[in-house]
Structure 1
Amino acid sequence: MALPLPFTTRPELAGTFGMVASTHYLATAAGMSVLERGGNAFDAAAAAAFTLHVVEPHLNGPGGEVPAIFATAADPVPRVLCGMGTAPAAATLERFSSLGLDLIPGTGLLPATVPGAVGAWLTLLRDHGTLPLRDILDYALGYAERGHPLIPAVAGTISTVAGHFRVHWPTSARQWLPGGEPPVPGQLFALPRLAATYSRLLAEAEAAGSDRETQLDAAIRAWYGGFVAEAIDAFCRNSVLDESGRAHAGLLTGDDLAGWNPSYERTVSLDWHGLTVHKAGPWTQGPVLLQQLGMLEALGELPPPGSAARIHRVTEVAKLAFADREAWYGDDPGVPLADLLDPGYLSARAALAGDTASAELRPGSPGGRVPRLAEFLYSSRSIASGGGALDAMAAVEGAAAGPEPAAPGEAQVSASGATRGDTCHIDVADRWGNMISATPSGGWLQSSPAIPGLGFCLGTRAQMFWLEAGLPATLTPGRRPRITLSPSLATRDGKPVWAFGTPGGDQQDQWQLLLLLGHIADGLGMQAAIDAPAWHSNAVPSSFAPRRREPRGLVLEDRFSAHTIGELRKLGHDVLMSGPWSLGRLSGVYRDPDTGILHAAANPRGSQGYAAGR
């Protein structure tokens, strides 16, 4: 007799036509509609992404960025699409020193990098899509022009920063406070200025000719060398208040945009339990997932799921992997990636995971190199105080200290304008064998003032650079910040089988590890693994200003037993309880290589992400 399937909050979808999963149901629906119209996975992912710019503006926008990993039906070898822009030519250590700053602010115009998201999606469409740009943009343009029902998290974010907008960022007040007041949840909310930007982009693209690729090339030129770049250049000459408490002008120029292009790159990978897990390079935090898998493999059989022993082991391994991130990762050709992923190195690192919670930040010495951390990480400013200052707010990207935890998918905002956004995620698989995992982020409505002629704001990703010379992640003009965005794609026997990921900043590759362990090591279905109680370590230094960490901080959803929580405290962890359904926004699509059946699953937390397919 077959055993009953474990309860899940939603069914795990199965079909043969196509699957889409994302962090907002309207984006998922847009992507599925594109598949139904004959588009492929890349068309669908782009349509979903442009829709997310409109319906999750507190989590991403056209001024943000996106890394993606994809494989095509014609070429199953996964590749990285880099939509992460670079630091402006004027963004030098000397410039920031002259401003008296030792950290790059997380808000305003000063931390803007080249906005890479739109260029990446347009390039992917040109090279691997099938439908005209109008068919892709139609969904986002419609929601921006005619309105969309505003989700509570967006309304709450706007309400929190309304006073800041009125006093300091009037262009944002005009866009986000219709009639002078914050919108309410469920209100039909339009973005007419963004709609006009998309309409002009389409007009200029279609004026270039009838050929699809010609139109996409024209759209790229309009964005990075035309009317969009001109408006960004002009707006960045203004001085606006940022979280440093002072007003600064931006450093980004039209020349910076014109000189940038998205790129295709090789993935970094590790073989694990019959899968090859692919990540983007060390300009992201992606390789920490591979390091964690390698260290856990070296430690042998895992303790039982949900046990204090399992949570402790995974947490201590995460601390070691993320310490390596701090010392070694960056957009730097000297990153010793092969040595960081060497089985012997990972085995030696794993041996450091002790029987009690470590409070140390302990990077290793790959290939005998001497590690170096930013001096700031040794200072008291990097250590969170007050016991629960970060609490479950570390569930969201770059969570800042404050009194209340944010729900998943919510931006963490203070009334003063000190803000952090979260992120989005998209996974798509089509009937032809194409597959993509993408993690759009940045350009948060609450972190930088709206550009009045365009209807969106710039990103603030430069805050992830260090203002200290000689580090892999030191601010350098023309280089990418070391970002937390971390999509995943797995292959089996050389065939793409699984695209997955989550928002969550520094927590992304902790929560994705839990999904891998639950689905592959423990044999849970993908939806059941997403639904399982989650946790993460706060000992990981934040990649976001003010760059804090809690040396023994451990956040758990409160579905764990009192016994497990007590055991973890005995092991020395400073356990912080989050809500029962609060950590992670995982989603994924899977193709069974033997049957061709497609599967999809999405996170129930926040009642916002959905999967669709047939």
Structure 2
Amino acid sequence: MADKTRPTLRGSFGMCASTHWLASATAQSVLERGGNAFDAATAGAFVLHVAEPHLNGPGGDLVAVFATAAGTSPLVLAGQGHAPRAATIEHFRAEGLDHVPGAGALAAAVPGAVDSWLWLLAEFGTWELTDILAYAIDYAERGVPVVPPLARVLATVEDLFRTHWPTSYALWMPEGRVPQPHDTVVNPVYARTLRRLCAEGAGGTRTARIDAARRAWRTGFVATAVAEFAATPHRHSSGTDHAGVLSAADFADFTPSVEPPVTAEFRGVTVAKAGLWSQGPVLLQALTILDHFDDAQIDPSTAGGVHTIIEALKLAMADREAYYGHRDPADAEAVAHRLLSSRYSKERAGLIGPGASTAFRPGDIGITPYAPPLIARQPSVRAEGVGEPTVQQTGETRGDTCHIDIVDRWGNIISATPSGGWLQSSPAVPELGFALGTRLQMTWLDPAAPTRLAPGRRPRTTLSPTLLLRDGSPVAALGTPGGDQQDQWQLLYLVRTLALGMDPQEAIDAPAFHTTAMPSSFWPRTWTPGGLVIEERAGRAVIDALRDRGHDVTVSGPWSLGRLSVVTRDPHSGLLQAAANPRGAQGYAAGR
């Protein structure tokens, strides 16, 4: 057994794990004070807005998968907002654009995160909104330490903020300088926004108070302020100025929704994911392909295992580009069924040969596959890292998110991946203290694309939390930041734990890798045929053998890929476990 950086936490009361220690500590505090997993996750998520503002924000989105102690079937919470009414291909073309910009309010979907968290709190939580938001308000007013990646992001966009986004410059550089690592940053404007949401909910029942705050967000002062500010033309990553099209009516159009997950079996465990409007089924497809190989053939510590896993991911990612996107429920169910069928997965497994493939190979499921533009990625824009964003001076961002997992003593469990609304995504709304997201950059300005831009359509998201079940009972919740790498890094964890018997922390600590041989979900949507990024800890012998097989290998730092976290529960003994990623020195688990 490999050495671990930390122990896997074990207990029976409650477990929390996230990408930032303040969120984990907050969530555990809620559990200690009698809250359940949904109370804890909501409180932790609002703290993440303050602690990791370069990775998520109130103007962003979320996807969660959860199950209740009542024994109901797992549910997916779709907190991904849709395209505004005026976000049409024709409008973008008329603006002189051939793509959706990677930064600027024109790329904003309707913010779904805050309303979705409040819905979850009202439906499944037990706490008052004022108690939930007290943690985030305190951190926003008193400050949080600047983690080094946040300092790097702010340094990168300093000139953009100073020259073109003065409201962001005033918010994040109030002393006229870029905050340095371990400085303290405050956001009193966002604290006032949260206090105002709380004040909207005076009187009535607990649920009525939360609903009043939701109305203030969707149809009140928040929607009004966002719509008025976004309508002012400002610099986008295209280098040109545009007004956003998000309106107050668009806010009112959004409501969180829950839906059954898409599932697949691997080594006797059911893996539950969001549907084809996310990239979640990529993990399911890769698992169904790998289920046709024995354990030794998919061991990620060997060159042969890395090769097999990478080739399976290439095939799944090709299908993602060809078939995934916003579909009506009946069509989505039929497409997912074909992609996850035993016959199809066996056919795909048969395509994996001894050498690295460099072709884009979607499969044949009886419908015409979409063929995206294939633009070769230049070495200078390769994006690797621990799930932190790769940010350009224009504010264009690739690979950015945070994550939180909670399980409580009663058996409630949730895995949630909040993202979007990054401070570098668009100018800060001065009355509210946050920016809008840019999720629409994942859409194509091509009417034939399954991920085409269209009003009311969800953009296909990379957000991809996971829930595991054994014999119908939830046994684990996990996820990671990382854009296109989210399901790739989770796949390594599942292979190592379910096929090779590693414990959670050992599996998280083991060397990570991923493929870049698919069009990126983030602009400029490039790919590297045969691309494989791997931590140098994998060893020279493995890396050399992969190159011999024809892989285009980029060797990354020894602890550079992934920010995965997990909580587990044994439904028979009640044993709870948690583990979090040491990479980046931010993620921690807490529990007892």
TM-score range, shorter chain: over 0.9
Counterpart of 1:356, as a letter, is G
Residue of structure 2 equivalent to 1:327? 322
Question: How many angstroms apart in 2 are the aligned matches of 1:21 and 1:141?
Answer: 21
Unaligned runs of 5+ in 1: 396-407
Residue of structure 2 equivalent to 1:15? 11
Counterpart of 2:146, as a letter, is L
Residue of structure 1 equivalent to 2:384? 394
Residue of structure 2 equivalent to 1:526? 504
Query: Is the 1:239–1:250 Cα contact (8 Å) retained in structure 2?
Result: yes
CA distances 1:158-178 after superposition (whole Å, capped 9, x unpaired): 122111100010010100112
CA distances 1:330-361 after superposition (whole Å, capped 9, x unpaired): 01123411111111011111111121111111
* 1:598 to 2:589 alignment: no
Question: Structure 2 matches for 1:127-146, cutoff 5 A?
Answer: 127-146=123-142
Aligned partner of residue 439 in structure 1, secondary structure? strand
Question: How many angstroms apart in 2 are the aligned matches of 1:485 and 1:149?
Answer: 26
Question: How many angstroms apart in 2 are the aligned matches of 1:317 and 1:152?
Answer: 35
Question: How many angstroms apart in 1 are the aligned matches of 2:567 and 2:300?
Answer: 23
Residue of structure 1 equivalent to 2:113? 117
Counterpart of 2:280, as a letter, is G
* 1:310 to 2:305 alignment: yes
- Offset of 1:6 from its aligned partner? 4.0
Query: Is the 1:413–1:420 Cα contact (8 Å) retained in structure 2?
Result: yes
Question: 286, 290, 298: which is aligned to 2:284?
Answer: 290
Counterpart of 1:337, as a letter, is A
Residue of structure 2 equivalent to 1:403? none
TM-score calculated relative to the size of structure 1? 0.94
- Offset of 1:394 from its aligned partner? 3.4
* 1:346 to 2:345 alignment: yes
- Offset of 1:369 from its aligned partner? 2.1
Query: Is the 1:421–1:447 Cα contact (8 Å) retained in structure 2?
Result: no
Question: 262, 271, 279: which is aligned to 1:277?
Answer: 271
Question: How many angstroms apart in 1 are the aligned matches of 2:265 and 2:59?
Answer: 35
Distance change (3 Å), C-alpha of 1:421 and 1:7: closer
Distance change (3 Å), C-alpha of 1:104 and 1:416: closer
Question: Structure 2 matches for 1:172-571, cutoff 5 A?
Answer: 172-206=168-202, 209-303=203-297, 304-333=299-328, 334-335=331-332, 336-366=335-365, 368-374=366-372, 376-377=373-374, 382-385=375-378, 388-391=379-382, 393-395=383-385, 408-420=386-398, 422-571=400-549
Query: Is the 1:153–1:409 Cα contact (8 Å) retained in structure 2?
Result: no
Question: How many angstroms apart in 2 are the aligned matches of 1:517 and 1:592?
Answer: 19
Counterpart of 1:448, as a letter, is S
CA distances 1:138-189 after superposition (whole Å, capped 9, x unpaired): 1100000111222122122112211110001001010011211111222221
Q: How many residues align?
A: 587
CA distances 1:29-67 after superposition (whole Å, capped 9, x unpaired): 000000011000000000000000000000000000000
CA distances 1:367-413 after superposition (whole Å, capped 9, x unpaired): x2232223x23xxxx2113xx3344x234xxxxxxxxxxxx243222
Identify the range of structure 1 (297-306 vs 179-188) with the bigger mean alpha-carbon deviation. Answer: 297-306
Aligned partner of residue 437 in structure 1, secondary structure? strand
Residue of structure 2 equivalent to 1:402? none
Counterpart of 2:384, as a letter, is A
Counterpart of 1:203, as a letter, is A
Identify the range of structure 1 (151-160 vs 28-37) with the bigger mean alpha-carbon deviation. Answer: 151-160
Identity %: 55
CA distances 1:568-596 after superposition (whole Å, capped 9, x unpaired): 11100111010000001010000012211
Question: How many angstroms apart in 2 are the aligned matches of 1:373 and 1:182?
Answer: 43
Question: 31, 34, 39: which is aligned to 1:43?
Answer: 39
Residue of structure 1 equivalent to 2:59? 63
Counterpart of 1:383, as a letter, is A
TM-score calculated relative to the size of structure 2? 0.98
CA distances 1:459-496 after superposition (whole Å, capped 9, x unpaired): 00000011101221111110100000000001111111
Query: Is the 1:534–1:584 Cα contact (8 Å) retained in structure 2?
Result: yes
Aligned partner of residue 234 in structure 2, secondary structure? strand
Unaligned runs of 5+ in 2: none
- Offset of 1:418 from its aligned partner? 3.2
Question: How many angstroms apart in 2 are the aligned matches of 1:410 and 1:70?
Answer: 25
Question: How many angstroms apart in 2 are the aligned matches of 1:269 and 1:591?
Answer: 19
Query: Is the 1:394–1:538 Cα contact (8 Å) retained in structure 2?
Result: no
Question: How many angstroms apart in 2 are the aligned matches of 1:152 and 1:171?
Answer: 23
